[in-house]
């Protein structure tokens, strides 16, 4: 159905936004759950799904770090410090 048209395996997972990766992951899971797919298609979907899950987890981790790094300046204004997943949080 229309779900298959939404899957674009040629698109690099690393270039997807969180919303794009999550939507594609949901379509991938739905297609796998329908069953009746040839083994090679199932494996390809599963592999892509794992990559999409990892992308979502990375982006969520980065968002969490950004929230944790909101620092209150002496003026009381909030400041966002850019962070990447895997970086240690500075404890000052």
63-83 pLDDT tens trace: 888 777 765 445 456 666 666
Domain boundaries, the chain: 2-79
| pTM reported for the whole predicted model | 0.68
Q: What is the mean pLDDT of residues 5-15?
A: 72
Which residue has better confidence, 3 or 60?
A: 60
* 8 Å CB contact between 54 and 62: no
Residue 4: what pLDDT? 42
- CA dist 78 and 71 (Å) reads 6
Q: What is the mean pLDDT of residues 36-55?
A: 97
- CA dist 15 and 67 (Å) reads 22
The answer on pLDDT for 87 being more than 90 is no
What residues have CB less than 8 Å from 28, skipping those under 6 apart?
7, 45, 48, 49, 52
Residue 83: what pLDDT? 61
Q: What is the mean pLDDT of residues 48-54?
A: 97
Residue 47: what pLDDT? 97
Residue 82: what pLDDT? 64
């Amino acid at each position: 159905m229309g779900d298959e048209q939404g899957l674009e395996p040629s698109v690099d997972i690393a270039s997807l936004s969180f919303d794009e990766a999550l939507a594609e992951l949901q379509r991938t899971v739905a297609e796998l759950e329908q069953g009746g797919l040839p083994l090679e298609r199932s494996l390809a979907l599963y592999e892509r799904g794992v990559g999409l899950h990892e992308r979502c987890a990375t982006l969520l981790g980065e968002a969490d770090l950004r929230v944790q790094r909101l620092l209150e300046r002496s003026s009381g204004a909030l400041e966002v410090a850019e962070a990447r997943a895997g970086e240690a949080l500075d404890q000052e």
